[in-house]
């Protein structure tokens, strides 16, 4: 019998660049949430470690050392498994697709092999992997390895739109100009989506402007999302190019998904706001 894990997309509701370490890594402050979009990973016991990739974005991962395999070796380089990844999320898109896949591999193979995930293994694979490992709303700080409780979140609708153009994170950070932002001051929680969107609008994604400079279609995506009925906030996630819109209801998000369909664009609409228990 095989096992499976869902690799939830990660969305940064805001992202402040708060500083830079001596080793060059940037320090961040962000609120990450996990809408119900993502990739799927399956595993079966096998003598050797193999990975088959299918799905609409499989071709973008061909020929490389996938993060799923790196995660498997990080957990136990001596064990084998037959892995199958269904790649539904666009690659290099600012919603943690590769990191979510790596985190799903750690969770999945921990179950299959009966091994706990070693401390520090997730952070060694990438800045977004620790938060994707828990796949629940969290405040991210440091270089992504510091996870704090998220404010209470309402259940809300979200739309995700990617213009079909990959954006390299190092290039976006290199294009950023100006100083650093302070960490956000957040309430203990939001009961209403309108209040959450209003508070988030006072914050920013510090990487949005440099990403638009590198990839102008991001600006077109943001304008299109803002024009949909019921959109309370539109912003880029991570280092781009995926952008999101927040809506009070799921029906509004589903309607926006239909309205935002364009040739070459990846669009998803659905629920978000799962709250830690």
Please identify every residue annotated as catalytic.
10, 128
Helix 67-75 to helix 97-113 angle (10° resolution) is: 30
Find out whether 132 and 106 touch, Cβ atoms under 8 Å.
no
User: Residue written as tokens 């402040």?
Assistant: 16
Rounded distance between C-alpha atoms, residue 243 and residue 88, angstroms: 16
Find out whether 95 and 160 touch, Cβ atoms under 8 Å.
yes
Rounded distance between C-alpha atoms, residue 60 and residue 157, angstroms: 29
Find out whether 190 and 153 touch, Cβ atoms under 8 Å.
yes
Rounded distance between C-alpha atoms, residue 107 and residue 270, angstroms: 24
Whether the bond into 241 is cis, omega within 30 of 0: yes
Query: Which CA distances in Å does 163 have to 40, 83, 94, 221?
Result: 22, 29, 12, 7
């Amino acid at each position: 019998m095989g096992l499976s894990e869902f690799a939830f997309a990660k969305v940064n509701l805001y992202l402040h660049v708060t500083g830079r370490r001596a080793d060059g890594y940037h320090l961040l402050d962000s609120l990450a949430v996990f809408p119900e979009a993502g990739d799927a990973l399956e595993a079966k016991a096998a003598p050797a470690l193999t990975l088959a990739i299918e799905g609409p974005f499989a071709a973008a991962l061909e020929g490389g050392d996938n993060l799923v395999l790196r995660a498997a070796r990080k957990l136990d380089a001596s064990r084998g498994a037959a892995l199958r990844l269904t790649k539904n999320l666009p690659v290099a898109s600012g919603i943690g697709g590769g990191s979510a896949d790596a985190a799903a591999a750690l969770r999945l193979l921990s179950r299959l092999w009966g091994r706990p995930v070693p401390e520090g293994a997730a952070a060694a694979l990438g800045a977004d992997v620790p938060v994707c490992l828990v796949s629940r709303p969290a405040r991210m700080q440091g270089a992504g390895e510091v996870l704090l409780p998220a404010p209470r979140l309402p259940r809300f609708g979200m739309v995700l739109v990617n213009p079909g153009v990959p954006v390299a994170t190092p290039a976006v950070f290199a294009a950023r100009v100006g100083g650093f932002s302070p960490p956000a001051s957040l309430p203990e929680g939001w009961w209403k989506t309108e209040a959450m969107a209003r508070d988030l609008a006072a914050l920013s994604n510090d990487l949005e402007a440099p990403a638009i400079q590198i990839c102008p279609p991001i600006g077109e995506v943001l304008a299109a999302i803002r024009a949909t009925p019921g959109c309370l906030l539109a912003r880029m996630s991570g280092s781009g190019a995926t952008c999101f819109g927040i809506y009070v209801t799921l029906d509004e998000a589903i309607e926006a998904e239909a309205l935002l369909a364009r040739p070459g664009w990846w669009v998803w609409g659905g629920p978000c706001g799962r709250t830690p228990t």
